[in-house]
Amino acid sequence: MKVMAGLVEPDRGTRIVPSGTRVGYMEQEPDLSAFETLGDFAASMLAEDEKYRVEMVAEGLKFRPDAPVATASGGERRRAALAKLLAEAPELMLLDEPTNHLDIQAIGWLEEELRDTRTAYVLISHDRAFLRHLTRATLWIDRGQVRRLERGFEGFEDWREQVWAEEDEARHKLDRKIKAEAKWAVEGISARRKRNQGRVRALADLRAERAGQIRRQGTAAMELDSGTTSGKRVIEATGLEKRFGDKTIVSDFDLRVLRGDRVAFVGPNGVGKTTLLKMLTGEIAPDAGTVKLGTNLEMAVFDQARATLDFNMTLWDGLVNDPDMRVSGRSDQVMVRGVPKHVVAYLKDFLFDESQARAPIGSLSGGERARLLLARIMARPSNLLILDEPTNDLDVETLDLLQDILGEYDGTVLLVSHDRDFIDRVATTTIAMEGDGRATVYAGGWTDYQTQRALSAAEAAKPADKPAAKKSDPAPEAPKDAPKKAGLSFTEKHRLEALPGVIEKLEFEIGKLTELLADPGLFTREPVKFQKASAMLIERQGSLAKAEEEWLALEEKAAG
């Protein structure tokens, strides 16, 4: 992507950008050190009369342009980098992990912006839901080769498996050919005085080709040991309340977590998800209410700040100095689920090279730090996993593996995440924190939560039955000097003209979704697709009802 942006020169080949085409690049870790505020950074390339664009984008991304750079969090810096790119409005946008450290609301806003824009863009992301919703083509970079699929991420995994299957078949044929040629080279000597030197050279070429093939990188050899079985009741919270000054985190919150539950916490950044998590595990005391923890709990924590990692230590020292992994009298082994294992061998299980063992933890990428933290918590037995933003920086293959491991884990999982796809695949319960102390418990994952919330909203929006007016009560006459109703404003007139098209589009989408859901086998065959289509249908029906009401109100006002 940096080559596309013109920041890195290729060793070979040509980068061609048509005259007048501007390319904008949002990097993962932008350098904001030269700026006092996030707004200064976001507006740094804009003319004075264009700086209002930053304010417009900041409203959608929910970030404060006047926030000091020195105290800005990773999420705030990411929002500022996005605001800078969107405000500059280049003809091509290059976005490197744009959703990392963003909450679900900001991701949803960005998704809508990119879906509606006519600007071309290229994304690097491990957020599968984000990629599925937005992409029309896929570039797959694998072992130095770039392949292109003229379909979005929805078709990537099937395509990848097909490519790998064809590759394995070709490798198997090459191995058989080498074996046959080697047998001829050895056994044919006794039958003739001179070997066919061309055939011998061809065998050497075959062996060189086979040796030059780069093996696919495997997935991390992750494994969880649930240890001793906890009691059936893991957490019982009753009447929890917590405030920080004027800010209410939760109010009158009840929750029961049973053994084997997978509970996801969702909501905007700063709403208090981690605080509630720490109250439920006993790390923070509530202002009111009680938390009772079950018996035989063995807890393992994955913290989003990676605070348990000492960035000055090497990977080797970071493992052998961990009290839960230390092997008495040995400086080259760690205890992994009760069995001693060499440090380098365990690091290789998590895709680290031997050369990285003596490197400082601070030199690792975000994904490598996440894998190292997973290595530490998976080395010890546990029956209660606390995962605070575990999906940040992890690649798709590691996410898939983590999801499978959690599916087979006998213990209980409490999860904070903004990855909608991961929540859908893992969670059995979702707790939505929406601010002002509101925390609502929903059954299922993210899509289930959205469906139930939409149903509740539709139910609440139904008009109450009005009592019929008495025939004997004549309608009051308007005073003769009553002013005439004002006509439509320019904005209302424009909206009235646009609404028929909006209504027609919604009716078309509702028809398509209804047709899809009419398939009786869809729920059994593709349950996630069924849930998403159901949620979309409810949302479109609600939008149609609102659009029709708005059109009727404007028509009446125009006629009045």
**Poorest-pLDDT segment among 11-25, 434-448, 452-466, 499-513:** 452-466
Strands (E), 294-376: 299-302, 333-336, 339-342
Q: What is the pLDDT of residue 206?
A: 66
Distance between CA atoms of residues 29 and 106, nearest Å: 18
Q: What is the pLDDT of residue 12?
A: 95
Q: How does DSSP assign 410-433, residue by residue?
A: -SEEEEE---HHHHHHH-SEEEEE
Q: What is the pLDDT of residue 469?
A: 47
- Residue 557 predicted with pLDDT over 60: yes
Distance between CA atoms of residues 52 and 162, nearest Å: 49
**Most confident of the following: 178-192, 230-244, 295-309, 399-413:** 230-244
Q: What is the pLDDT of residue 481?
A: 44
**Most confident of the following: 82-91, 102-111, 453-462:** 82-91
pLDDT tens per residue across span 61-78: 888 899 999 988 777 888
Strands (E), 412-511: 412-416, 429-435, 438-443
Distance between CA atoms of residues 235 and 276, nearest Å: 13
The residue type found at 130 is F
- Residue 196 predicted with pLDDT over 70: no
Q: What is the pLDDT of residue 88?
A: 93
- Residue 141 predicted with pLDDT over 50: yes
Q: Please provide the average confidence, as pLDDT, over all residues in the chain.
A: 83
pLDDT tens per residue across span 216-271: 555 566 777 777 888 899 999 999 999 999 899 999 999 999 999 999 999 988 89
Domains of the chain: 2-143 (3.40.50.300), 169-212 (no CATH), 233-445 (3.40.50.300), 487-559 (1.10.287.380)
Does residue 414 contact residue 280 with C-beta atoms inside 8 Å? yes
Q: What is the pLDDT of residue 207?
A: 67
Does residue 385 contact residue 412 with C-beta atoms inside 8 Å? yes
**Poorest-pLDDT segment among 370-379, 409-418, 522-531:** 522-531
Q: What is the pLDDT of residue 534?
A: 83
Q: What is the pLDDT of residue 234?
A: 94
pLDDT tens per residue across span 20-60: 899 999 988 788 989 999 999 999 999 998 988 898 888 88
Count Cβ atoms within 10 A of the Cβ of residue 391 and give its class: 0-12 exposed, 13-18 middle, 19 or more buried. Answer: buried
- What is the average pLDDT across 204-216? 64
Q: What is the pLDDT of residue 446?
A: 92
Alpha-helical regions (H) of 221-342: 273-280, 315-320
Q: What is the pLDDT of residue 496?
A: 83
Distance between CA atoms of residues 102 and 74, nearest Å: 9
430, β-bridge pairs: 264, 442
Q: Against a cut of 0.85, is the pTM above it?
A: no
Element (H, E) at 132: helix 128-134
Binned at pLDDT 50, 70 and 90, residue 485 comes out as very low
